[in-house]
């Protein structure tokens, strides 16, 4: 062999070696396919803001924390169910059977979570609920874990606050389905226990409600306060009609769960919202360093403020990442579920715990008042002024 030929041969061998190493890497990647997370969210329809908020938060988390986890890439699949339960169920089935997702997540409304629970059970797929908040959801499948909240959890603190602040007679005003019925029931039981009296119980339809006739009833009943629960997305319409009927100047106090003074819509509500006292687990104005960083990053990536749906989505994907890491990237429904139980997460809302027994979230619940915040361009925010620490879902604590 001539020296020149030898050099060529050597060079050829080097090329083959490099190619082989490259192939070995590619083969590893094939052996370890991505872990898949399927979020089912209402991206269209009446609850579209819930989908928009959660998707934005999940994408922010993934941008900040990257992929892979434990050597495996994370594939995020987001599907729109339009807020229709039959669609949620069909999509969940497809995600489990065709896409073979490792985890299902999302669920913008209670009926959508109920519709999917049997699929989680049958397929042994962890189902992380990052929105829907009827207490009983976590009891529909042993594979359900929740990072959002429950209505009893956020309602009992405002009932306590009302009774301690001169409100003796209250009327409840709730959306007529799971979370509204939870809010109605737990407001009444706590407020009555505290010495108050519920003098009327009003339920409004979930779909496209016209609040006017129901608000007239509140005016006629003349309570000291009206306690309101409406799902995310309905607060602005309610507040507008409350103001138009002059109820804000009637001497009837408006108190609510924080779903009504939702950060997604709050600043657009205007002065009618000023002074409204609510209880909830998250405010974009929560004064912690972690939250300030979260809100700044969220607002830099989106042209809107994060709300309580966003924070539950952000913590939900963190819970899933942590579980993937605990299983060292192996996954598996039962192993992931076990890894989710008992997790403690430092959230922008404060510390949260996934109760190992109930798989529901334990968290601080704040009492807040709507104020214009000078340091934030005079925009309306829910300003926290009191707190009940580490609140367990009272429907399960009993």
Residue among 208, 191, 209 at smallest CA distance from 200: 191
Q: Is the CB of 159 or the CB of 228 nearer to ligand DHB? A: 228
Hey, which residues does 131 pair with through a beta bridge? none
Residues counted in the chain: 398
Residue 198 corresponds to which tokens in the numbers above?
């519920």
Within residues 117-136, the interface with ligand DHB by CB under 6 A covers 132-134
Size of interface with ligand DHB, in residues (CB under 6 A): 11
Query: Does the protein bind ligand DHB through residue 109 (CB under 6 A)?
Result: yes
Report in angstroms how near the CB of residue 268 gets to ligand DHB at its nearest. Answer: 17
Query: Does the protein bind ligand DHB through residue 259 (CB under 6 A)?
Result: yes
Report in angstroms how near the CB of residue 47 gets to ligand DHB at its nearest. Answer: 6
Hey, which residues does 204 pair with through a beta bridge? 175
Lookup result for tokens 């103001």: 243
Q: Is the CB of 123 or the CB of 155 nearer to ligand DHB? A: 155
The single residue among 88, 110, 116, 123 that binds ligand DHB, judged by CB under 6 A, is 110
Q: Are 368 and 259 in contact (CB under 8 A)?
A: no
Query: Does the protein bind ligand DHB through residue 116 (CB under 6 A)?
Result: no
CB neighbourhood size of 207 (10 A): 11
Q: Is the CB of 178 or the CB of 313 nearer to ligand DHB? A: 178
Query: Does the protein bind ligand DHB through residue 179 (CB under 6 A)?
Result: yes
3-state secondary structure 263-288: CCCHHHHCHHHCCCEEEECCCCCCCC
Within residues 184-223, the interface with ligand DHB by CB under 6 A covers none
In the chain, which residue ranges form alpha helices assigned H by DSSP? Answer: 3-31, 48-65, 85-97, 110-123, 151-164, 178-193, 212-221, 235-244, 266-269, 289-301, 308-326, 333-340, 394-397
Report in angstroms how near the CB of residue 131 gets to ligand DHB at its nearest. Answer: 6
Report in angstroms how near the CB of residue 259 gets to ligand DHB at its nearest. Answer: 4
Report in angstroms how near the CB of residue 73 gets to ligand DHB at its nearest. Answer: 32
Q: Is the CB of 160 or the CB of 259 nearer to ligand DHB? A: 259
Give CA–CA dist 43/54, Å, rounded: 10
Query: Does the protein bind ligand DHB through residue 235 (CB under 6 A)?
Result: no
Q: Is the CB of 209 or the CB of 231 nearer to ligand DHB? A: 231
Q: Is the CB of 126 or the CB of 178 nearer to ligand DHB? A: 178
Report in angstroms how near the CB of residue 283 gets to ligand DHB at its nearest. Answer: 14
CA 127, distance to chain mean position in Å, is 13
| Angle in degrees, 0-180, between the axes of helices 308-326 and 333-340, rounded to the nearest 10 | 120
Within residues 32-71, the interface with ligand DHB by CB under 6 A covers 50
Lookup result for tokens 């009302």: 162
Q: Is the CB of 101 or the CB of 230 nearer to ligand DHB? A: 230
Query: Does the protein bind ligand DHB through residue 307 (CB under 6 A)?
Result: no
Q: Is the CB of 147 or the CB of 232 nearer to ligand DHB? A: 232
Lookup result for tokens 């803001």: 49
The single residue among 106, 157, 209, 231 that binds ligand DHB, judged by CB under 6 A, is 231
Residue 351 corresponds to which tokens in the numbers above?
């510390």
Pairing label, strands 344-347, 350-354: antiparallel
Q: Is the CB of 57 or the CB of 339 nearer to ligand DHB? A: 57
Report in angstroms how near the CB of residue 232 gets to ligand DHB at its nearest. Answer: 3
Report in angstroms how near the CB of residue 133 gets to ligand DHB at its nearest. Answer: 4
What are the angstrom distances between the C-alpha of 143 and each of 34, 45, 98, 338, 344? 21, 28, 20, 10, 18
Report in angstroms how near the CB of residue 177 gets to ligand DHB at its nearest. Answer: 7
Report in angstroms how near the CB of residue 175 gets to ligand DHB at its nearest. Answer: 8
Query: Does the protein bind ligand DHB through residue 232 (CB under 6 A)?
Result: yes
In 173-288, which residue ranges form alpha helices assigned H by DSSP? Answer: 178-193, 212-221, 235-244, 266-269
Residue 108 corresponds to which tokens in the numbers above?
């913008």
Lookup result for tokens 């009444």: 188
Report in angstroms how near the CB of residue 218 gets to ligand DHB at its nearest. Answer: 21
Query: Does the protein bind ligand DHB through residue 306 (CB under 6 A)?
Result: no
Residues near ligand DHB (CB under 6 A) are 50, 109-110, 132-134, 178-179, 231-232, 259
């Amino acid at each position: 062999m001539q020296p020149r030929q030898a050099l060529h041969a050597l060079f050829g061998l080097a090329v083959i070696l490099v190619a082989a190493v490259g192939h070995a890497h590619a083969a590893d990647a094939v052996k370890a396919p991505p872990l898949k997370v399927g979020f089912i969210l209402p991206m269209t329809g009446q609850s579209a803001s819930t989908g928009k908020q959660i998707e934005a938060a999940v994408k922010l988390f993934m941008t900040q924390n990257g992929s892979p986890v434990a050597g495996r890439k994370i594939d995020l699949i987001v599907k729109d169910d339009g807020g229709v339960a039959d669609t949620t169920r069909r999509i969940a089935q497809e995600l489990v059977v065709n896409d073979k997702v490792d985890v299902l997540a999302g669920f913008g409304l209670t009926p959508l979570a109920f519709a999917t629970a049997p699929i989680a059970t049958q397929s042994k797929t962890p189902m992380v609920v990052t929105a829907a908040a009827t207490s009983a959801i976590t009891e529909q499948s042993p594979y359900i874990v929740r990072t959002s909240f429950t209505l009893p959890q956020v309602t009992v603190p405002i009932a306590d606050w009302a009774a301690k602040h001169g409100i003796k007679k209250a009327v409840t005003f709730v959306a007529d389905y799971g979370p509204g019925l939870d809010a109605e029931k737990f407001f009444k039981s706590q407020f009555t226990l505290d010495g108050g009296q519920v003098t009327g119980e009003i339920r409004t339809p979930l779909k496209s409600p016209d609040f006017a006739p129901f608000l007239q009833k509140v005016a006629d009943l003349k309570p000291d306060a009206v306690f309101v629960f409406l799902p995310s997305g309905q607060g602005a319409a309610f507040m507008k009609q409350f103001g138009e009927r002059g109820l804000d100047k009637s001497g009837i106090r408006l108190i609510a769960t924080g779903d009504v003074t939702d950060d997604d819509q709050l600043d657009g509500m205007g002065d009618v919202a000023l002074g409204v006292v609510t209880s909830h687990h998250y405010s974009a104005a929560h004064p912690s360093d972690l939250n300030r960083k979260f809100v700044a990053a969220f607002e830099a990536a989106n042209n809107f403020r994060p709300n309580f749906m966003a924070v539950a989505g952000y913590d939900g994907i963190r819970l899933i990442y942590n579980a993937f890491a605990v299983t060292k990237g192996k996954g598996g429904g039962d192993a992931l579920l076990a890894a989710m139980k008992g997790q403690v997460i430092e959230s922008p809302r404060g510390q949260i715990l996934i109760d190992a027994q109930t798989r529901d979230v334990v968290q601080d619940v704040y009492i807040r008042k709507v104020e214009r915040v000078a340091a934030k361009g005079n925009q309306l925010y829910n300003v926290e002024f009191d707190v009940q620490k580490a609140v367990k879902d009272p429907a399960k604590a009993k």
